[in-house]
Chains A and B, each alone.
Chain A
Amino acid sequence: MQFEPVIGLEIHAQLLTDAKIFCGCSTKFGAPPNTHTCPVCLGMPGVLPVLNRKVVEFMIRMALATNCRLNRECNFARKNYFYPDLPKGYQISQYAAPPAEHGWVDVEINGGKKRIGITRIHMEEDAGKLMHDEHNPASYVDLNRTGVPLIEIVSDPDIRSAEEAAAYLRRLHETLVYLGICDGNMEEGSFRCDANVSLRPKGTEAFGTRAELKNMNSFRNVQRALEYEIKRQQYVLEGGGEVVQETRLWDDTAGVTHAMRGKEEAHDYRYFPDPDLVPVVIDDAWIAEIRSSLPELPLEKRERFVRDYQIPVYDAGVLTASRALADYYEEVVRLSGEPKIAANWVMGDVLRFLNEEKRDIRECPISPASLAGMIRLIQQGTISGKMAKEVSEAMYRSGKTPQAIIEEKGLVQITDEDALAKTIAEVIDKNPTQVSQYRGGREKVFGFFVGQVMKATQGKANPQLINDLLKKMLAG
């Protein structure tokens, strides 16, 4: 029997607000344990939550970018369970009335587009972190992360392969980062993904029993875990067994998923509306205001680059991988007027230098103005393409302008015809044998003359000019 995987993803994205969702504490990552805390996020007796409106705004941004329908009113609910990283004994989340529903995104799969539905987006607070002492029977809790705002994005069960899941995940990731509402750092946990996976016989409608996968902290792991889990379930079903509804953890090292102990997931969360918070009202004026401030999204930008700059789809994809890179490229284009050449240089040297050092485009020592300046110098014939390689490397190392580097290194191309003609005449004089060979029809010898002239000018001569003059002078 042929099986078809049915996959839905739940994504948790930490929002880049300055303050936590229900108190004024900082959301910055990496502070010493329990320093970004106050009685409210510590869950002390008698304290009360007050919603940070910025969180709602960020949620609305994502909802609009993923074509969701926004509900006019939504509620916060308490999700009750005991765990030491949850100081109140409940997480403030949203349950019965989510703010955003019925959205979708398109992803590119095998050259085609596929639409994946988004069931809902809601807001909630993050929990703290436990740290276990390796040498003593003790655990510690860091509550800095407690109350950091999250949005949870739940997809419809529209995904049919690990590859589609990865594509969908990348689309949401780049959208969140483009919107400036999440830093997308999977290792630090600011972008997390859980997956629901089941199989059903191909051509049937009913869903099979699903397993929930957790602990996949990279795009690659999500894909690997799903591939493994699909195979595992297929094996179980083909052997006449049944898939158990359970939570399974991905083990990155072993490359397998294994079941979490039953007890840990036997939760009845007893959701009910949080009586300490009032309903959130999202009116049309607010939605319109946020809509008008939305940046261009990656897919739109990609299509515009191909259309307006006449660059290949692949190049547009690379150049729009982040908003900062796209902005950089567009600035180079604006200053140089050369979209194709600019694309080559940004994708070539600039990204290569940055990747070698694992640096971000925002840290690039070559300013868009310098790169554009260099492109102009090439176009004007002041430097050769070969020289430009040297210049770009020097710009990256020193951060200096192309002009400064060219002067420093004496890299200016000889474009003075008289001076070059003089040099060529000398080369011709010195090599009578080759001259007669050339004139006798052995045109290959032409390369020899180019080399000699280059050598004599230390590579500074404009190659086009050498060609033209040589041809003329050798012809006698």
Chain B
Amino acid sequence: MELHELTIHELLDRLRAGETTSAEITASVFGRIDAVEKEVHAYITLMRETALAEAARADERIRKGEIGALTGIPIALKDICCTKGVRTTCGSRILQNFIPPYNATVVEKLRAAGAVFPGKTNMDEFAMGSSTETSFFGVTRNPWDLDRIPGGSSGGSAAAVAADECIAALGSDTGGSIRQPAALCGVVGMKPTYGRVSRFGLVAFASSLDQIGPFTKDVEDCAIVMNVIAGYDPRESTSVPEEVPDYRRFLGKGIEGWRVGIPKEYFIAGIDPEVEAAVRRTIQVAEGAGAKCIEVSLPHTEYCLAVYYIVAPAEACSNLARYDGVKYGFRSEEGRDLMEMYKKTRAAGFGAEVKRRIMIGTYALSSGYYDAYYKKASQVRALIKRDFDEAFAKCDVILTPTTPTPAFRVGERTDDPMQMYLSDIFTISTNLAGIPGISVPCGFTAAGLPVGVQFLAGHFQEGRLIQFASAYEKHAQIEKRRPTL
């Protein structure tokens, strides 16, 4: 096995045993990047030189016996996480040349834990999309089938992990942007509870929904990264001062007697039969592991997409107002006065999907429409949250498909926003309710495309998700395959 193919825990074992060095690991990752990045295009910006320097420093610390939780491990960052001195584009022309003078809190935390940063990964522009096709910097390809999309918006991070172009990665999830690409790329992806991981330095899309989380090759690595990035941040008002358990504690434990809720509203017409079959098999695996599966109901599920496409664009149109050409980022030189400068800058700086959502959001907040749209959506959102509270009174975790279909072809849905939005149909409710969710691989279609299953739990129950996912991973014995690149 090549070093870049290993997991964090495998590499940490080798580093501790002195069998390898971070320099070797990092060089291996960049060797892999050199070999496949042309085809996959997972990254917007590569940080080769600084990564090699970080690796050398990590090796020095390891020699001194100072090995931290992630010392020497190359972890890619979605290009939505601000990195001091390294451009952070958010997949947009408007931030094409933006170099933040600060690090996101998660970047600081990873750095403090000794991580090495190989680069910034591709994403849908401002995280608006489900395929990484709206990026200003080109499409990322699914490593399992280069004609297909990797999912989105964190498609670059998912593809980088799947293609072994990094050992793990961070993404952000506003309506499924971690879990959906994780499922489509056959990796593990977790969206933590809202307030669990700091949003400081995460370029905002929809502030009440955004959450940073890890992409990893297995559940154990997910626990390792979560241990580093979770926790209260005084720089974020919505951060929650809830104690962070050692998530590794939840690994390798049983799930006997657990009640697994299967929401009837999530097995709908239109779901791909192969996906449904794979997910139904996970139910058997869970029962085989001693869990008891019960039907639960989330009656407001049908409103999730509508609520999301009011709340998220409303917050987005306000969050994206700061990109006006005045202070930083792209500015059109064609405007002859202020108003024209604004218009031309934003017309040229934003892509079509971002503009669509800015318009939807502006409309939903407009005087005379606010009550009918934004206010009503907020009220329904409270009902969706209540659905989950009631369901979790009856079960320990909820099990659903992560996506209705496997990865679709590049260009297949770009002209049909509604079809595109439907790819997040099973993931959106989680963000609206603020609860944590994890997607783990549960098999392959006949065509060899990965399928993911999603587990959900109550607020701050990431440990429970890790325990369940870890047990599932052990019992399912999903065939280890690597994409052929």
Say whether A and B bind each other.
yes
Q: Is A272 an interface residue when CB atoms closer than 8 A count as contact?
A: yes
Tell me the residues in window 72-127 of chain A with beta carbons closer than 8 Å to chain B beta carbons. Answer: 78, 80, 82, 84, 87-90
Comparing A45-53, A150-158, A204-212, A447-455, the segment that makes contact with chain B is A45-53
Q: Give the nearest-CB partner of A50 in chain B.
A: B237
| Cβ contact within 8 Å between B200 and A44 | no
Q: Is B297 an interface residue when CB atoms closer than 8 A count as contact?
A: no
| Cβ contact within 8 Å between A47 and B200 | yes
Fill in one digit per residue for B325-350: 1 if any A CB lies within 8 Å of its CB, else 0.
01110000000001000100000000
Scoring B81, B365, B374 by chain A CB atoms within 10 A of each residue's CB, the highest score goes to: B365
Q: Give the nearest-CB partner of B321 in chain A.
A: A89
| Cβ contact within 8 Å between A45 and B203 | yes
Q: Is A278 an interface residue when CB atoms closer than 8 A count as contact?
A: yes
| Cβ contact within 8 Å between B237 and A80 | no
A50 to B233, CA, bound (A): 11
Q: Is A133 an interface residue when CB atoms closer than 8 A count as contact?
A: no
Comparing B35-43, B96-104, B393-401, B474-482, the segment that makes contact with chain A is B96-104
Q: Is B202 an interface residue when CB atoms closer than 8 A count as contact?
A: yes
| Cβ contact within 8 Å between B237 and A51 | yes
Q: Is A312 an interface residue when CB atoms closer than 8 A count as contact?
A: no
A270 to B313, CA, bound (A): 13
| Cβ contact within 8 Å between B338 and A84 | yes
Q: Give the nearest-CB partner of A40 in chain B.
A: B235
A272 to B321, CA, bound (A): 14
| Cβ contact within 8 Å between B326 and A87 | yes
| Cβ contact within 8 Å between B82 and A278 | no
Chain B residues, CB < 8 A from A90:
318, 321
Q: Is A141 an interface residue when CB atoms closer than 8 A count as contact?
A: yes
Tell me the residues in window 199-258 of chain B with beta carbons closer than 8 Å to chain A beta carbons. Answer: 199-204, 206-208, 234-238
| Cβ contact within 8 Å between A89 and B322 | yes
Tell me the residues in window 272-319 of chain B with beta carbons closer than 8 Å to chain A beta carbons. Answer: 314-315, 317-318
Fill in one digit per residue for A140-152: 1 if any B CB lies within 8 Å of its CB, else 0.
0100000000000
In the complex, the 4 A-B pairs of residues with the closest C-beta atoms, listed nearest first? A89-B321, A270-B365, A275-B208, A275-B207
Q: Is A325 an interface residue when CB atoms closer than 8 A count as contact?
A: no
Name the distance in Å between A139's Cβ and chain B's nearest Cβ: 8
Q: Is A213 an interface residue when CB atoms closer than 8 A count as contact?
A: no
Name the distance in Å between A412's Cβ and chain B's nearest Cβ: 67
Given A48-B200, A50-B237, A270-B366, are A80 and B321 also a contact pair (CB < 8 Å)?
A: yes
Tell me the residues in window 264-321 of chain A with beta carbons closer than 8 Å to chain B beta carbons. Answer: 268, 270-272, 275-278
Interface residues on B, range: 35 or more
Q: Is B362 an interface residue when CB atoms closer than 8 A count as contact?
A: yes
| Cβ contact within 8 Å between A268 and B366 | yes
What are 17 residue pairs bridging A and B, where the CB atoms are less than 8 Å apart in the complex? A39-B100, A42-B327, A43-B322, A44-B82, A46-B80, A46-B199, A50-B237, A80-B321, A80-B365, A89-B322, A89-B324, A268-B366, A271-B370, A272-B315, A276-B237, A277-B237, A277-B238
Q: Is B88 an interface residue when CB atoms closer than 8 A count as contact?
A: yes
Chain A residues, CB < 8 A from B484:
none
| Cβ contact within 8 Å between B367 and A48 | no
Q: Is B15 an interface residue when CB atoms closer than 8 A count as contact?
A: no
A191 to B480, CA, bound (A): 69
Chain B residues, CB < 8 A from A276:
204, 207, 236-238
Chain A residues, CB < 8 A from B338:
84
Tell me the residues in window 144-201 of chain B with beta carbons closer than 8 Å to chain A beta carbons. Answer: 199-201
Q: Give the nearest-CB partner of A277 in chain B.
A: B237
Q: Is B29 an interface residue when CB atoms closer than 8 A count as contact?
A: no
Given A46-B82, A46-B203, A47-B201, are A278 and B366 also a contact pair (CB < 8 Å)?
A: no
Chain B residues, CB < 8 A from A87:
322, 326-327
Chain A residues, CB < 8 A from B82:
44-46
- The DSSP consensus for interface residues of chain A is loop
A49 to B322, CA, bound (A): 14
Q: Is B95 an interface residue when CB atoms closer than 8 A count as contact?
A: yes
Given A46-B104, A50-B237, A88-B321, are A275 and B315 also a contact pair (CB < 8 Å)?
A: yes
Chain B residues, CB < 8 A from A48:
199-200, 235-237
| Cβ contact within 8 Å between B204 and A278 | no
Chain A residues, CB < 8 A from B51:
none
Q: Give the nearest-CB partner of A42 in chain B.
A: B327
Supplied contacts A272-B365, A276-B236, 8 more A-B pairs, CB within 8 Å: A45-B88, A45-B95, A45-B100, A46-B200, A84-B326, A271-B365, A272-B374, A275-B208
A89 to B327, CA, bound (A): 11
Fill in one digit per residue for A242-265: 1 if any B CB lies within 8 Å of its CB, else 0.
000000000000000000000000
Q: Give the nearest-CB partner of B363 in chain A.
A: A270
Q: Is B90 an interface residue when CB atoms closer than 8 A count as contact?
A: yes
Chain B residues, CB < 8 A from A78:
318
Chain B residues, CB < 8 A from A271:
365, 370
| Cβ contact within 8 Å between B314 and A82 | no
Name the distance in Å between B369's Cβ and chain A's nearest Cβ: 10
Chain B residues, CB < 8 A from A45:
82, 88, 90, 95, 98, 100, 203-204, 322
A78 to B235, CA, bound (A): 19
A39 to B203, CA, bound (A): 12
| Cβ contact within 8 Å between A39 and B321 | no
| Cβ contact within 8 Å between A270 and B318 | yes
A39 to B103, CA, bound (A): 11
A42 to B234, CA, bound (A): 19
| Cβ contact within 8 Å between A88 and B237 | no
Name the distance in Å between A156's Cβ and chain B's nearest Cβ: 24
Name the distance in Å between A231's Cβ and chain B's nearest Cβ: 33
| Cβ contact within 8 Å between B207 and A50 | no
Chain A residues, CB < 8 A from B237:
48-51, 276-278
Tell me the residues in window 27-60 of chain A with beta carbons closer than 8 Å to chain B beta carbons. Answer: 39, 42-51
A45 to B319, CA, bound (A): 9
A370 to B482, CA, bound (A): 91
Given A51-B237, A272-B318, are A46 and B202 also a contact pair (CB < 8 Å)?
A: yes
Q: Give the nearest-CB partner of B362 in chain A.
A: A270
Fill in one digit per residue for B113-134: 1 if any A CB lies within 8 Å of its CB, else 0.
0000000000000000000000
Chain B residues, CB < 8 A from A270:
317-318, 362, 365-367, 370
Q: Give the nearest-CB partner of B104 in chain A.
A: A46
A39 to B99, CA, bound (A): 12
Name the distance in Å between B105's Cβ and chain A's nearest Cβ: 10
B367 touches which one: A50, A51, A84, A268 (CB < 8 A)? A268
Name the distance in Å between B7's Cβ and chain A's nearest Cβ: 29
A350 to B392, CA, bound (A): 75
Chain A residues, CB < 8 A from B98:
45
Name the distance in Å between A468's Cβ and chain B's nearest Cβ: 79
